[in-house]
Amino acid sequence: MLPVKLAGLGYYLPERRVTNAELEATLGIPPGWIARLTGAQERRYVGSETSAGMGAAAGQRALTQAGIDVADVDLIIGASTAPQQAIPCTAVFVQRELGAPEGQSACFDVNATCQSFLFGLHTAAHLVAAGAYRTALVYSSEITSRSLNPQERESAVLFGDAAAAAVVTASAPGEASAIWHAQFATHHSGAELSQLRGGGTLHHPNDPTTLPFMNVFEMRGPTLFKQGIRLAEPFLDRFFATLGWDRQTVDAVVPHQASGPAIAMFVHRFGFHHDQLVINFPTRGNCIAASLPLALAEAVESGRIRRGDRVVLAGSGAGLTLGALALTF
């Protein structure tokens, strides 16, 4: 048990709403296809927003909710898939855009695609619990809309842009807030089921053999879906066995917002009731690493999740990596 709390949560949504009708027209998809296949109704795409700008906006809101001054942040973890630029890491630019005094915080990025936020939160929680830092800001900021492949409509319609952030501090004596358990497992046989081949040393942007399709996302949806479900059942059984909680006693389950059908599996296969689930996929889409903290932040804002609630964050993503984390909010 780590005696830490999410002292504040915040999020940022780009102003531009992209409806199914707009996407269906752009991509040449029959009307109604997106909602029927994925459950999505709309998503946001950035205009002039940047990764660091969105991360800082979400971070500032999390700090305001926590009542903590930006000058007191001593750790900034950027937990996102795509950086703003290759060097330096994006958390550096969030330090700047937050107006955080330089030299007073350490900045690094963590990346495990959809699981980035959970890994970042788990890391921050351990560092804060051990006293290495006092106030950690963990944010996820994803601009998915620049890396979609209009030829692959099944994936192009799923994603949205967003940022979300959490402030992690030690719980005060007597506070119930804690992180109880986290579990992660990576299955490399799924590495090619959702991938973006470019953007690294294998297909360098300046290499003439790097082709445009390598710089956009690709997904083998049905195989990824089946493999994710098959692996998630025993993964969650093991998670709850170690955790020692009965699934029915969880106040809120926040799934990674992969797609409508993927979220439905939490009811149909993983043993939860529909009213335990926190869902924002229909209006936000899959915002990769930002999905989980965004759904959490919106649920806290609406009062759906309150102090003292038992919350489980869980999902699967590229890797293929499964993750789950249990906390008392």
Query: Where in the sequence numbering do the catalytic residues fall?
Result: 114, 256, 286
The yes or no reply on residue 167 touching a copy of itself (CB under 8 A) is no
Q: How far is the CB of 95 from a copy of itself (least distance, A)?
A: 5
Stretch that binds a copy of itself, among 31-39, 65-73, 215-223, 244-252 (CB under 8 A): 215-223
Residue of 8, 35, 5, 3 lying closest to 20 (CA atoms): 35
Residue of 309, 315, 256 lying closest to 280 (CA atoms): 256
The yes or no reply on residue 315 touching a copy of itself (CB under 8 A) is no
The yes or no reply on residue 302 touching a copy of itself (CB under 8 A) is no
Distance (Å, whole) CA 283 – CA 145: 15
Distance (Å, whole) CA 274 – CA 264: 8
State the number of binding residues for a copy of itself (CB under 8 A).
77
Residues 34-53 contacting a copy of itself, CB under 8 A: 50-51
Residues 261-300 contacting a copy of itself, CB under 8 A: none
Stretch that binds a copy of itself, among 58-66, 106-114, 220-228, 292-300 (CB under 8 A): 106-114
Stretch that binds a copy of itself, among 28-36, 210-218, 245-253, 264-272 (CB under 8 A): 210-218
The yes or no reply on residue 147 touching a copy of itself (CB under 8 A) is yes
Cis before 88? omega within 30: yes
Residue of 115, 292, 91 lying closest to 194 (CA atoms): 115
Stretch that binds a copy of itself, among 63-71, 242-250, 292-300, 315-323 (CB under 8 A): 315-323
The yes or no reply on residue 227 touching a copy of itself (CB under 8 A) is no
The yes or no reply on residue 188 touching a copy of itself (CB under 8 A) is yes
The yes or no reply on residue 199 touching a copy of itself (CB under 8 A) is yes
Cis before 320? omega within 30: yes
The yes or no reply on residue 208 touching a copy of itself (CB under 8 A) is no
Q: How far is the CB of 26 from a copy of itself (least distance, A)?
A: 17
Binding mask 229-268 for a copy of itself (x = CB under 8 A): --x-------------------------------------
Q: Which of 11, 12, 45, 93 binds a copy of itself (CB under 8 A)?
A: 93
Distance (Å, whole) CA 4 – CA 329: 10
Lookup result for tokens 């205009």: 47
Q: Which of 19, 26, 85, 151 binds a copy of itself (CB under 8 A)?
A: 85
Q: How far is the CB of 75 from a copy of itself (least distance, A)?
A: 8
Stretch that binds a copy of itself, among 31-39, 152-160, 260-268, 316-324 (CB under 8 A): 316-324
Structure tokens at 137: 């800001």
Amino acid at 57: A
The yes or no reply on residue 108 touching a copy of itself (CB under 8 A) is yes
The yes or no reply on residue 58 touching a copy of itself (CB under 8 A) is no
Distance (Å, whole) CA 96 – CA 86: 17
Q: Which of 28, 30, 67, 86 binds a copy of itself (CB under 8 A)?
A: 86
Q: How far apart are the first and last CA of the chain?
A: 13
Residue of 294, 282, 262, 281 lying closest to 194 (CA atoms): 262
Distance (Å, whole) CA 167 – CA 7: 5
Distance (Å, whole) CA 45 – CA 63: 25
Distance (Å, whole) CA 182 – CA 121: 10
Residue of 35, 254, 316, 13 lying closest to 145 (CA atoms): 13
